[in-house]
Structure 1
């Protein structure tokens, strides 16, 4: 690694510099120790005053460099003047550094200690990963080979979390690590997305399985534990709670580098962690090229397909198309959405109606039978599995999307009435509503004769 480390000659800076030096030595890289000569208060002073400040800073910087070189690291020094954050970022860019290291100051550092503005400003503008050292002891012990490093990665399904996991894997290649990938968004939101608000345990299980699968896809050689946070509060608070519970030495999180106005309204998980984390924090920005590559990445292999039919000719045609294009080994789920108040012959009722339950059960059985008739002959299945399900919901489009999320499908297939123009705007359709809300691949099948 090529590491740029800032120092203001405090005790915490000395510890952060020692971490940076050992990390550079273990990774076979170099380190640059930077002290920004902040002469803003003395800019109008006599020349000999400025010279005295620079000489004193140079002597302390040289002494610190010698101490760090004794640890086996290759260390250079820089003494730029100006704003500390600007000087650090300029030096990091000049040397094409792959990591910034700074000591932390925050609300946990004792009464009267404010958040370090240099850390905050640097964090908001850095394009390279930034390690903020609050407790150097576990990092130093890990770098000396005395113990594994316990790492907590804030993880979800974004490209930012993928960048964070990739850097954690890089650290694991330097020394022994225990890595916990933690999902800290609201599980209820995921349960609602999958239509499983009444089945929180099932929603949590499906979410956990999806996270395990994603970790394996991104870093197949990384033995990481996956945790769905049970804590309440914002993501930063959840990560902090988990860090204390799991005895974590380092929290690694991605960042989307929001601008100041965006941070004001949307908040910043990385900034909140910087202020309140009980331990060390490593923030990993996502390079623009990585985000672009993720957008252009080849879609994942189709393993699960969901197709919805209203049992009309067009809906059943969508089922036939889904079966035809699904590759061998694919799981096909065919659903039909039925209104929970549906009775026989197109009538609607309420549970309070004396014969509602009987008529509703008969209508559901009739539709289940109609679904089963869509089962293709064995020779058409070609090692694919297929199952049929009647789903009760008063909003068909919402039910279709929820089922697609619930089954984590790679392709959603629905039939469309082929409306366009004013009729589509006025009448709408379930297919159009699905198109507006479903974020994954969607195959729309028009009526016969409109291919």
Structure 2
């Protein structure tokens, strides 16, 4: 792991360099100290400004080596800082770029300063340092680092989680998963009763969201990492709530994933707003990081949902669900009856569902949960059940219709896959 630290030789940049030197020692990571001279200064002062900058860089490097920084290298660049640093990061393969927080906030949210522009250009994790003492204490091995990880079901969250997991290799962490949610949207997604207002959280909704959050954070649970969830119903921008949660939890570091949105979309960027509003250090992890060598954990299948209409293809999906689920895993078996089904019909359907549990699966190797639900939108009921149970995989039977019959009758499996972002396996019957 190689670390780059940008400096403009200000007091804040000097203090950040001290922090990065300790991180370099803790992680045994080579440190590259970077200064960028603008083309205007070069044109105005010529070689003299270059010599002065090189002298200042070399002096900083010697000082950081006395703090324990590993293999300090100095690089002097010319041009716009964000573009020059981004190009160097891509060329050298830095795995983290660090800068000090700007001294003054940017007056207009739509236009970023140097730090914002650098975050937009960099394709590697970017740490903006505020409150150096906590990071330095962790780097010295004096205490655990308190981290809040912005949590949701998205690709940016996944890459941010993997970055935090990598950080845990170098010292103990206390991770708080901060989840900001809109109660009405989540209730609709999970097929639960719609709340009367944004803070009206039913026990069923709270439990479902907490279970989902715990599952999302599971890869972080290790001997050196304590993990818990903090949930907050939101109204307005996610970043405002997330930063407030981080302040309440008194964390040392806020970590968020980012799509690196451009132009007007940046006005709603959680990572950009967090960098500006947070009182603590912030790391933004771009999604592109995952494509450039960030080690990602292989997905684990612990729970599978199989839906059947009691026809051959649906029943075949049940068999595949048990084959896929590992020992100790959970298989949810689901059947959907029409909305106007009678109690007798529901009880009969449950008996039919019980009969479809394979004999080999009755030895206790799997946990089996049966559900008979009602609704005329079968695909919607299945999708919402998958969300409530927070399953890792759906197993769906398909009749294999094509052409006109598929267009007229439709395909429940196809509709489920179109609505759900959870992985799904479709099971077809062998050809006659």
Q: TM-score, normalised by structure 1?
A: 0.79
Query: Structure 2 CA distance, aligned partners of 1:289 and 1:148?
Result: 30
**Alignment CA distance shift 1:113-1:56 (3 Å):** farther
Residues 309 and 83 of structure 1, relative CA distance in 2, 3 Å threshold: closer
For residues 349-372 of structure 1, the C-alpha deviation after alignment (integer angstroms, 9 at most, x for no partner) is: xxxxxxxxxxx4444445445545
Deviation readout 1:149-203 (Å, 9 max, x if unpaired): 2211223444533332333344344344322232335455444322124584333
8 Å CA contact 1:151–1:249 kept in 2: the answer is: yes
Structure 2 distance, partners of 1:366, 1:240, is: 51
How many Å separate the matches in 1 of 2:295 and 2:59? 44
Q: How many residues align?
A: 421
Aligned twin of 2:204: 202
In the alignment, which residue of structure 1 is the partner of 2:307?
308
CA distance in 1: counterparts of 2:168 and 2:359, whole angstroms: 48
Query: Take 2:19 and 2:249, find their aligned partners in 1: how far apart are those partners?
Result: 22
Corresponding residue number in structure 2 for 1:354: none
Q: Which residue of 2 is the match for residue 398 of structure 1?
A: 380
What's the offset of the Cα at 1:292? 10
Segment of structure 1 superposing worse, 320-329 or 429-438? 320-329
- Following TM superposition, by how much is the alpha carbon of 1:436 offset from its aligned partner in structure 2, in angstroms? 2.7
**Judging changes above 3 Å, is the alpha-carbon distance between structure 1 residues 329 and 124 closer, same or farther for their aligned structure 2 residues?**
same
Aligned-partner SS, 2:77: coil
Q: Indicate yes or no: 2:426 matched with 1:443.
A: yes
Matching of residue 15 in structure 1 with residue 4 in structure 2: no
- 1:367-396 Cα offsets, whole Å, 9 max, x none, are 445545x35585663434544332122311
SS at 1:398's partner residue?
helix
Q: Deviations over 1:306-364 (max 9, x none)?
A: 3333455665565567567766555333333233334xxxxxxxxxxxxxxxxx44444
Which sits farther off after the overlay, 178-187 or 121-130? Answer: 178-187
Cα displacement (A) at 1:101: 1.2
Structure 2 unaligned segments of length 5 or more: list them. 195-200
Mapped pair 1:278 → 2:279: yes
In structure 1, C-alpha distance between the alignment counterparts of 2:320 and 2:64, rounded to whole Å:
67
1:254 aligns with 2:257: yes
- The 2-side partners of 1:176 and 1:300 are apart by 24
In structure 2, C-alpha distance between the alignment counterparts of 1:298 and 1:33, rounded to whole Å: 35
Task: Go from structure 1 to structure 2 and tell me whether the alpha carbon gap of 1:20 and 1:195 turns closer, same or farther (over 3 Å shift).
Answer: same
1:86-235 map, 5 Å: 86-105=83-102, 117-186=113-182, 188-197=184-193, 200-217=202-219, 220-232=222-234, 233-235=236-238
Give 3-state SS (helix, strand or coil) of 1:184's partner: strand
Cα separation, partners in 2 of 1:144 and 1:272, compared to 1, 3 Å = same
SS at the partner of 1:257?
A: coil
**TM-score, structure 2 normalization:** 0.82
How do 1:261-410 residues align onto structure 2 when only pairs under 5 Å count? 261=263, 264=265, 267-285=268-286, 286-289=288-291, 300-301=300-301, 303-311=302-310, 315=314, 329-342=328-341, 360-372=342-354, 374-375=355-356, 381-383=362-364, 384-410=366-392
Counterparts in 2 of 1:375 and 1:284: CA distance versus 1, 3 Å: closer
What are the superposed Cα offsets for residues 215-248 of structure 1, whole Å, 9 maximum, x if unpaired? 3335644423231421414332232011111001
Equivalent pair of 2:162/2:294 in contact (CA under 8 Å): no
CA-to-aligned-CA distance 1:255-309 (integer Å, 9 cap, x gap): 2334x25x62784222221222221111223435369986xx86634x4343333
The equivalent of 1:346 in structure 2 is: none
Structure whose CA Rg is larger: 1
Which residue matches 1:242? 245
With over 3 angstroms needed to count, the CA separation of the structure-2 counterparts of 1:292 and 1:266, relative to structure 1, is farther
Q: Distance in 2 between matches of 1:313 and 1:217?
A: 37
Contact 2:239 2:270 survives alignment (8 Å)? yes
- Correspondence for 2:72: 75
**Matches of 1:26 and 1:366 in 2, distance apart?**
63
Post-superposition offset of 1:6: 1.2
Q: Which residue of 1 aligns with 2:197?
A: none
Instruction: Tell me what 1:36 maps to.
Output: 36
Q: Distance in 2 between matches of 1:192 and 1:240?
A: 26
1:357 is matched with which residue? none
Decide which moves more: 15-24 or 402-411: 402-411
Alignment partner of 1:434 out of 393, 397, 416: 416
Going from structure 1 to structure 2, the CA distance change for 1:98 and 1:422 (only over 3 Å counts) comes to same
